[in-house]
Structure 1
Amino acid sequence: METLRFFSGKIHGAAAFRCGRRFGVLSLMKTNLHFDCLSGISGDMTLAALIDIGVSPQLIRDGLASLNVADLKLHVDEVRKCGFRATYIRVEHPEQHAHRHLHHIEDMIAAAGGISESAKTLAIQIFRCIGEAEAKVHGCDLKKVHFHEVGAVDSIADIVGVSIAIDSLHVDQVTSSLIPTGTGSIVIDHGRVAIPAPATAEILTGIPLAFSEIESELTTPTGAAIIKTLASSFGPPSAMIPMRVGYGAGTRDLPGQANVLRLTLGQTHAREAGAEHIETDQVTLLETNVDDATAEQLADVAERLIAAGALDAWQTPCVMKKGRLACIISVLCHEADAPVMQNLLFEHTSTIGVRRQVLDRSKLARKAVEITTSYGLARGKVVTLPNGAQRFSLEDADARRLANLSGKSTREIHQDAEQSWRAGSAM
């Protein structure tokens, strides 16, 4: 199959957009590759899905051949998983028992003449991600880390093959769903460990995970390192025009679902003019309905949530079943703070259930400033609008403080602060 070549660009959402007519659409576009990791992610599943999406197997074979590993062969087959077609890859090589250090693998990749420099850089980044996790888990220096399972030839082939494939697609951005790890335990070189394995758990720090009851290792250290290195965001896919969809099969069969990794290669519209002033991130929204709380209790839990680090907390009146008047308590927070917020809701309200969802958020670029008003120093923030214009707002606490000191109204303090800011007294 021919290698897909859409728009030239870089990984991690580089702003290298191309203008052209594709599929009848004339617009500024960028290319996005989205990972759907319902059944987890591993190195062989990723490489298989990339081949299924259109990357030439021969391109991968030529690159792997330059690693100078004797009798290394890449087999590509079509299989069925729970009735769905998918590509399955298998790396064949003579059995080896060598435990490699990171520098051995880096030297092997650096010496490969059939791999582009950008693909080499990506492969080394992925291996370093694994190496740093292994060093922390085992409490040793990165240079002394032994790569056991990950240092095997098939894992090296997976990571290098994935790097070659990603480099050939010239994508602008890689995104991913939340990552499931599975449950239970597995046996590695160091004995039996809980899932996720220690290195996998360390690699996935800072990555939002998805719950799964499947008793199997869904995400391997190699898969975790690949997605952590590639993906710029985690959650639902952004709006895009799908161009190709590929499926990479895992070795095992899972109960009740196909053990496949799905990749979607598509195009998204470039950000509109002025979007450089708009920041985006992801936040978690927790909500619960309460029909037996007093106004004092609602105010108390809101204060506790804000004090614990919530980005915002609010109540919305609602009517529940049987016509009961109630209140929806909503909490906006960072994903890492969600467990704390959830516990506060359980502990300080009568609720027995909390809803949770991850939201994409857009916010104006802002900066904190301190200005000199006619009544003293005051804090505020300046936001930049998409058209480049700026807007100032005074901190309410400072407005009330200066009003109490001066005997003026808060409205007068706000007006004076606005005038002071416009006069250029921001420090």
Structure 2
Amino acid sequence: MNTIYIEAFSGLSGNMFLSAFSALLGDYEVLRDLPQKLHLPDGKIEIKQVDKNGINCQYVEVIDLNLGKEPDHDHSHSHSHEHNHDHGHTHSHNHAHTHAHNHSHTHSHDDSHTHEHSHSHGAHRHLSDIQKIIDHAHISDNAKKIAHDIFLMIGQAESKIHDMPLETIHFHEISGVDSIIDIVGNAVLIDQLNISKVYCTPICTGFGIVKTQHGMLPVPAPATAELLQGMPIYPGTEEGEKITPTGAAILKYLNPDFKSTAYTTIKTAYGPGKKNFHNANVVRISLLKSEVEQEKDTYLQLEASIDDMSPEYLGVSFQDGLLAAGAVDFSITQQLMKKGRFAFLLSVILPKSNLTEVANYIFNSTSTIGVRYYNIDRIELPRIQKTKQTPFGEVLVKESTTPTQQLKSKPEFDDVERLAKANNQSPYQVLNTINSNF
């Protein structure tokens, strides 16, 4: 499970998240065939290098081939907003917009962010239509759930703003090919990054008035403001719309903690917006050493020599309980003790904070009447957990990078065993097949 820190000093949009998450994962290829997996042949994803105020980063561009180019969108919100685009959109409607709003899109805006999109394009879909596209996609079940949740949040915000039943709202811009790929792509990346905890800075929204089909509206647009309720925001110094409904919905899904505390970063990635501003138009997302890992940086080695108990009691059940009590690693080796007695040396590595729990477990589960422990130091490589698709199903993989940038990866053995049972093969066969596909 991974912890991330989002710095939203220039707002947020769907494709800013898309670019940053891809860079954090270190894998842009996972997105290239997403249009095919969604059965949306009119969609295309391109990766290009851009410079934002001296920050070199990769921009993930989602293109609707019907329009020839990624709509500026942004805020699309579904609402029609005006979007300029030209749509007229009419939409009034109902919008549902789900926005992405775009608002107003007209925008021009500055929007910073550029992002998102999609306007309108084409057929206007209801939430149920989008849900069908997601359900039939060739992506993981968890990624589908994440995508459903994000679209639902956008729809609920639009429904409240327009005082219309959710099922009757038309998702205009947000229902476009590029917007669907944008949101589902983020869902896939969130799933693969295995994110469990999110921290975030207060969010820069921009300020001013934006022209929409509903007239002149304040920034952030109404649906965006609805999605941002409960989060700390500020207008910043540059006029324009800096956070889109899609960006706000993704952030809301991630349920960030805005508390200020010290963090240890492992990896940092940048997600650029399409527009250029005086300030760098990027979001910075860092992979952190989790709070639990930071608290457990001080390790102990605990030992006990056991010479009057059958080794049967030190089997799998005992070992599982030891890990559950808070051990991070252990070994059991044979010894010869005084008076010629054979014994077993139990050596356990554990965080200092877990000493009482682990010691009590050993006292309750073995015949020993004493343990010894001492401080140890460890050097660890930065690591990240990813969910990867294999011929047998999904498997969690731990990846670490050496000082010379060599990648080491290892599938979780529990997942290997699970897949072996499900496919009627041995763990050895499954592991070999998985390794040959990496």
Classify the TM-score, shorter chain.
0.5 to 0.7
Q: How does 1:80-159 map to 2 (within 5 A)?
A: 80-93=51-64, 94-95=66-67, 96-113=121-138, 115-159=139-183
Structure 1 residues 149 and 99: alpha-carbon distance in aligned structure 2, compared to 1, 3 A threshold:
same
Q: How does 1:304-319 map to 2 (within 5 A)?
A: none
Counterpart of 1:186, as a letter, is: V
> 1:228 & 1:67 partners in 2: Cα distance?
24
Shift of 1:235: 4.1
Shift of 1:172: 2.1
Shift of 1:189: 4.2
Q: Which residue of 1 aligns with 2:285?
A: 263
> 1:169 & 1:50 partners in 2: Cα distance?
8
Partner deviation per Cα, 1:348-394 (whole Å, 9 max, x = no partner): xxxxxxxxxxxxxxxxxxxxxxxxxxxxxxxxxxxxxxx99xxxxxx
Counterpart of 2:289, as a letter, is: Q
TM-score of the two chains, using structure 1 as the length reference = 0.54
Counterpart of 1:104, as a letter, is: D
Partner deviation per Cα, 1:389-410 (whole Å, 9 max, x = no partner): xxxxxxxxxxxxxxxxxxxxxx
Q: How does 1:291-302 map to 2 (within 5 A)?
A: none
> 1:189 & 1:43 partners in 2: Cα distance?
22
Shift of 1:244: 1.3
Counterpart of 2:276, as a letter, is: D
Residue of 220, 226, 243 corresponding to 1:202:
226
Counterpart of 1:182, as a letter, is: G
Residue of 3, 14, 17 corresponding to 1:46:
17
Unaligned runs of 5+ in 2: 68-120, 297-355, 358-438
> 1:267 & 1:89 partners in 2: Cα distance?
26
Decide whether the 8 Å contact of 1:64 with 1:161 is kept in 2. no
Q: Which residue of 2 aligns with 1:247?
A: 270
Q: Which residue of 2 aligns with 1:170?
A: 194
> 2:151 & 2:55 partners in 1: Cα distance?
32
> 2:131 & 2:215 partners in 1: Cα distance?
27
Comparing 201-210 and 131-140, the one that deviates more: 201-210
Shift of 1:193: 1.7
Decide whether the 8 Å contact of 1:34 with 1:263 is kept in 2. yes
> 1:119 & 1:261 partners in 2: Cα distance?
22
SS of alignment partner, residue 174 of structure 2: coil
> 1:189 & 1:144 partners in 2: Cα distance?
19
> 1:55 & 1:190 partners in 2: Cα distance?
41
Counterpart of 1:270, as a letter, is: V
Decide whether the 8 Å contact of 1:176 with 1:231 is kept in 2. no
Counterpart of 1:267, as a letter, is: K
Decide whether the 8 Å contact of 2:161 with 2:222 is kept in 1. yes
Decide whether the 8 Å contact of 2:206 with 2:219 is kept in 1. yes
Q: Which residue of 1 aligns with 2:214?
A: 190
TM-score of the two chains, using structure 2 as the length reference = 0.53
Counterpart of 1:157, as a letter, is: I
Partner deviation per Cα, 1:229-286 (whole Å, 9 max, x = no partner): 10331243x433312111111111112x10001000121241869xxxxxxxxxxxxx
Decide whether the 8 Å contact of 1:183 with 1:217 is kept in 2. yes
> 1:251 & 1:59 partners in 2: Cα distance?
21
Structure 1 residues 67 and 154: alpha-carbon distance in aligned structure 2, compared to 1, 3 A threshold:
same
Structure 1 residues 55 and 155: alpha-carbon distance in aligned structure 2, compared to 1, 3 A threshold:
farther
Q: How does 1:2-21 map to 2 (within 5 A)?
A: 9=1
Residue of 185, 210, 232 corresponding to 1:161:
185
Q: How does 1:49-88 map to 2 (within 5 A)?
A: 49-88=20-59
SS of alignment partner, residue 53 of structure 1: helix
Decide whether the 8 Å contact of 1:55 with 1:165 is kept in 2. no
Counterpart of 1:67, as a letter, is: L
Partner deviation per Cα, 1:27-73 (whole Å, 9 max, x = no partner): xxxx2111100000000110011112234222122333211112311
Q: How does 1:315-330 map to 2 (within 5 A)?
A: none
Decide whether the 8 Å contact of 2:13 with 2:243 is kept in 1. yes
Decide whether the 8 Å contact of 2:7 with 2:285 is kept in 1. yes
Counterpart of 2:57, as a letter, is: A
> 2:9 & 2:171 partners in 1: Cα distance?
28
Decide whether the 8 Å contact of 1:75 with 1:89 is kept in 2. yes
For this pair of structures, how many residues does the alignment match? Answer: 243
Q: How does 1:328-339 map to 2 (within 5 A)?
A: none
Shift of 1:92: 1.5
Q: Which residue of 2 aligns with 1:25?
A: none
Counterpart of 1:240, as a letter, is: Y
Decide whether the 8 Å contact of 1:175 with 1:234 is kept in 2. yes
Shift of 1:160: 0.6
> 1:146 & 1:71 partners in 2: Cα distance?
20
Counterpart of 2:274, as a letter, is: T
SS of alignment partner, residue 78 of structure 1: strand
Decide whether the 8 Å contact of 2:271 with 2:282 is kept in 1. yes
Structure 1 residues 146 and 55: alpha-carbon distance in aligned structure 2, compared to 1, 3 A threshold:
farther
Shift of 1:213: 2.6
SS of alignment partner, residue 29 of structure 2: helix
> 1:265 & 1:51 partners in 2: Cα distance?
12
> 2:291 & 2:253 partners in 1: Cα distance?
24
Let me know the Cα RMSD of the aligned residues. 2.0
> 2:259 & 2:236 partners in 1: Cα distance?
16
Shift of 1:124: 0.8
> 1:148 & 1:55 partners in 2: Cα distance?
32
SS of alignment partner, residue 234 of structure 1: coil
Decide whether the 8 Å contact of 1:64 with 1:160 is kept in 2. no
